[in-house]
Structure 1
Amino acid sequence: MKFLALLALVSAAIATPATKQRRQGCDSDVTLSGNPFEGLTLHANSHYAELVTAAAANLTDSSLEAAALAVADVGTFLWLDTISTIDTFESYLQETTCDEIFGVVIYDLPGRDCAAKASNGELAVGEIDRYKSEYIDPIVAIIKNNPNIAIAAIIEPDSLPNLVTNIDQTACANSKSGYEDGVAYALEQLNLPNVMMYVDAGHGGWLGWNDNLAPGAQELAKVYKAAGSPAQVRGISTNVAGWNAWSLSPGEFENAPDGQYNKAQDEKRYVTLFGDALATAGFPNHAIVDTGRNAVQGLRLEWGDWCNVNGAGFGVRPTTDTGLELADAFVWVKPGGESDGTSDSSATRYDSFCGKEDAYKPAPEAGAWNQAYFEMLLENANPALA
């Protein structure tokens, strides 16, 4: 039970509007167990809020202004995707109040994004010592300095799933030991009372294939056990920066010729099926699901198309009302409006997926703001934004 967070909620409930005060963190240290989102609101970090507010001032359609400003108030995860971003982490973290939980993405493994080009990281394969000492250790130090703030951490999107399905690629084969060592180290060091961790598990169109469920679960369990089976690992994150529906029947690709080989045709079925495989493998099996851009279905030519899908919209706002006990919360992980990768085929980090027919063009480099794409997300939001 989140004793101090719940105490703050009770106090807030009986306070009058004149006496209720917002304050940084809680009065005492936070201890998280169970569903860490229960009773708390995902913090709307000011980094994303500032990007959205600036975008609202530059809309080509002024009728979207109210919707844009509403996005600035939606809780969203902060990505620590380079060593340099750690310098600002503590200031953003300390904006969190006692009725909130701060979401952070740990994302800087050596040889990151081994099966693609758009989001390759700064650390080369083999630089595991730098990952530990220059990336994980400073993050841990900051969190230890703020034990009165509740934190949900997503651990290394796409990393372990790549070891299951893309190990035949040289880059992924070379990255295997670093990925496993790095993730295990992150889990071990971030095993702190005020942190709840979710290891990324791709999505239903990735590890959800019938033949991938058991190997995927075994890979996650292997790393989890190598870390000493940390108590603060709650389960998995799914659909991070993805497009899959939470619940859709038939699923987007269910009637495709190979649909019979994947029973996880939406994220609800994936969380259930993969959850069973995780339990068998000895890994905690609760989940959080990214619904930040999955409002519209039927847009992709293939399930694996991941880059700036054209026609997408903001999805369900963060909530614990998922309708499935294994699903702790719907959350916004990928900051809507930030590009997945460039459509410029001459760019060094160009990935062919960003040039496909179903990808939005033009698009800037991964992480750069795409104003037109942001406005599209607003227009296609479901449920509609204010």
Structure 2
Amino acid sequence: MSRDRRTAPSTAKPKGRSAAALTAVAALAAALLTVLGTAPEGAVAADAGNPYAGADLYVNPEWSGPALAGGAPADLAGQGTAVWLDSIGAIEGSGGMGLAEHLDEALEQRASAPSGELVVQIVLYNLPGRDCAALHSNGELAPDEIDRYRYEFVDPIAAIIARPEYADLRVTAVIEPFSLAYLPDHVSPHPGGTPQCDEVLALGSYQEGVAYAVAALADAGVHNYVDAGGHGLLGWSDATPFYDTFGNAARLYATIFDHGAEPGDVQGIAVNTADYSPLEEPYFDADDVVSGVPVAQTFWVDFRGYVDETPFALDFRDRLVAEGFASDLGVIVDTSRNGWGGPDRPTRTSASTDPNIYVNESRIDRRQDQEHRCNQVGAGLGERPQADPIGDPRLHAYVWIKPPGESDGPHADNDGGFGSICAPELGSLPNSPPAGAWFQAQFEQLMVNAWPPL
């Protein structure tokens, strides 16, 4: 598939089922590699099916170095994590490694990868009017700067990846976390609506930006996974007393095909990015009934149709296919912080006859509220990255998109970038640094509470 495009300016849930922990290979800190499985004869090609199958993951030295220094064993520091491109400057490096430098390092890692194949994971996170609902993590582009997004951000990324020297790398991209998934619940007349989200919806900034990104990157050979939030955000359906965020979101996602994208441009969806929702709640379901009262009515569940991520992800994937996405659409789940192990992890279903107590004593997700997503107390590393974790071809991989140990944001309004969601009274760890900075206390907690345990 080829498209005419402007050149960038020269300034430019089955209960009881849990995937086995990944057995990692200890390696030198200079070239730590995560084994997703030795590639069998006839391993999946880079342009077909599941791009994670039969490949190792690129280990970002800008993450593995701090992880080792922070006390991680070599196999943990050797896990693959994504490279976030959250500004135009990040493409060239902004004081760190630029995209081309990461790809050069990936070529070196591929040469010694056990499978002979390597997946490099990137995240595009710079839409015009970015994070219109969060407000504390606004990006550099105004809601109407779609041309800058296209030609100064997306096109340079695509041009670098398309260089001939990188043709043997598999590149996957998570496209714009916290964008399309946030609009259904954060535009008027919904209670969570903001003027900023109303503006980007009216302008079409998110739909046009996502459509352009997946089309341009697909032309460069990238496997695109459009971010799809999670069950805590889109878990309400038309069967609930509120509104159909599930269906509304699916219909909104399909509008990218009205803005130049094609179904073949999208390899899959990414869920739980930088979030804490568990893959499964083993001790209760959303449709449980306690003392004649559906647990859906409890504060925690809040009428959602889901309490865990895997069932939501597969159902939402199926709904997107019904809305016009490709029939082989896949799913990746960020498991970097959703393990919830440690001494406070429940071990059985509550015997309480009070629905709220029943839920609170049964759930392994120990947050105060599913809307809380900032450096959460008690969180732990989740399943290690691995391809085809449950044998369902729709679920491509567990991945670590949010690098463990990187802060979600500061705990107080002192150095800027503060959002009230990061306040300690909402369950966030105290003394947290700005978003993206290394947060040693968080990293140590994640290791202690890892599930499966380290």
Q: Does the pair score TM above 0.5?
A: yes
Q: CA deviation at 1:298?
A: 2.9
Kept in 2, the 8 Å contact 1:191–1:230? The answer is: no
Structure 2 equivalent of residue 116 of structure 1:
134
Local SS of the residue matching 1:337: coil
Q: CA deviation at 1:193?
A: 6.1
String of CA shifts for 1:81-140, please: whole Å, max 9, x gaps.
111111111111122214111100011111111111332211122111111111111101
Q: Structure 1: how far apart are the matches of 2:156 and 2:220?
A: 17
Structure 2 equivalent of residue 142 of structure 1:
160
Amino acid at match of 1:105: V
What stretches of structure 1 of length at least 5 have no aligned partner? 1-21, 23-29, 57-64
Corresponding residue to 2:441 among 335, 347, 372: 372
Q: CA distance change for structure 1 residues 138 and 277 in 2, over 3 Å: closer, same or farther?
A: same
Q: CA distance change for structure 1 residues 215 and 251 in 2, over 3 Å: closer, same or farther?
A: farther
Match status 1:314 vs 2:324:
no
Q: Summarize the alignment of residues 182-193 of structure 1 with structure 2, pairs less than 5 Å apart.
A: 182-192=209-219
Amino acid at match of 2:337: R
Q: Structure 2: how far apart are the matches of 1:224 and 1:379?
A: 44
Q: Structure 2: how far apart are the matches of 1:281 and 1:209?
A: 18
Kept in 2, the 8 Å contact 1:314–1:378? The answer is: yes
Q: Structure 1: how far apart are the matches of 2:74 and 2:441?
A: 16
Q: CA deviation at 1:256?
A: 5.4
Match status 1:172 vs 2:197:
yes
Corresponding residue to 1:202 among 224, 229, 237: 229
Q: Summarize the alignment of residues 228-243 of structure 1 with structure 2, pairs less than 5 Å apart.
A: 228-243=261-276
Match status 1:344 vs 2:344:
no
String of CA shifts for 1:264-292, please: whole Å, max 9, x gaps.
22111102221221121112442100000
Q: Summarize the alignment of residues 95-134 of structure 1 with structure 2, pairs less than 5 Å apart.
A: 95-96=105-106, 97=110, 98-134=116-152
Q: Summarize the alignment of residues 83-98 of structure 1 with structure 2, pairs less than 5 Å apart.
A: 83-87=88-92, 88-96=98-106, 97=110, 98=116
TM-score by length of 2: 0.72
Local SS of the residue matching 1:231: helix
Structure 1 equivalent of residue 255 of structure 2:
222
Local SS of the residue matching 1:91: helix
Q: Structure 2: how far apart are the matches of 1:341 and 1:252?
A: 32
Structure 1 equivalent of residue 308 of structure 2:
266
Kept in 1, the 8 Å contact 2:52–2:119? The answer is: yes
String of CA shifts for 1:145-181, please: whole Å, max 9, x gaps.
1222111110000100122111221111112211111
Q: Structure 2: how far apart are the matches of 1:190 and 1:163?
A: 23
Local SS of the residue matching 1:165: coil
Q: Structure 1: how far apart are the matches of 2:123 and 2:187?
A: 24
Q: Indicate the percent of aligned positions where both proteins have the same amino acid.
A: 37
Count, aligned residues: 347
Kept in 1, the 8 Å contact 2:127–2:176? The answer is: yes
Structure 2 equivalent of residue 74 of structure 1:
79
Q: CA distance change for structure 1 residues 308 and 77 in 2, over 3 Å: closer, same or farther?
A: same
Kept in 2, the 8 Å contact 1:237–1:287? The answer is: yes
As a proportion of its length, which structure holds more helix?
Answer: 1
After the TM superposition, which of the residue ranges 91-100 and 135-144 deviates more from structure 2?
Answer: 91-100
Q: Structure 1: how far apart are the matches of 2:402 and 2:58?
A: 14
Larger radius of gyration: 2
Kept in 2, the 8 Å contact 1:126–1:178? The answer is: yes
Q: Structure 2: how far apart are the matches of 1:102 and 1:223?
A: 25
Q: CA deviation at 1:253?
A: 7.3
Kept in 2, the 8 Å contact 1:107–1:157? The answer is: yes
Q: Structure 2: how far apart are the matches of 1:326 and 1:94?
A: 31
Match status 1:280 vs 2:285:
no
Q: Structure 2: how far apart are the matches of 1:79 and 1:126?
A: 23
String of CA shifts for 1:168-201, please: whole Å, max 9, x gaps.
2111111221111111110111113631111000
Q: CA distance change for structure 1 residues 231 and 276 in 2, over 3 Å: closer, same or farther?
A: closer
Give the superposed CA RMSD.
Answer: 2.0
Q: Structure 2: how far apart are the matches of 1:248 and 1:382?
A: 13
Corresponding residue to 2:208 among 168, 178, 181: 181
String of CA shifts for 1:200-245, please: whole Å, max 9, x gaps.
0000111122222111111111114523315241121000001111
TM-score by length of 1: 0.85
Q: CA distance change for structure 1 residues 349 and 228 in 2, over 3 Å: closer, same or farther?
A: closer
Q: CA distance change for structure 1 residues 251 and 241 in 2, over 3 Å: closer, same or farther?
A: farther
Amino acid at match of 1:291: T
Q: Structure 2: how far apart are the matches of 1:163 and 1:196?
A: 24
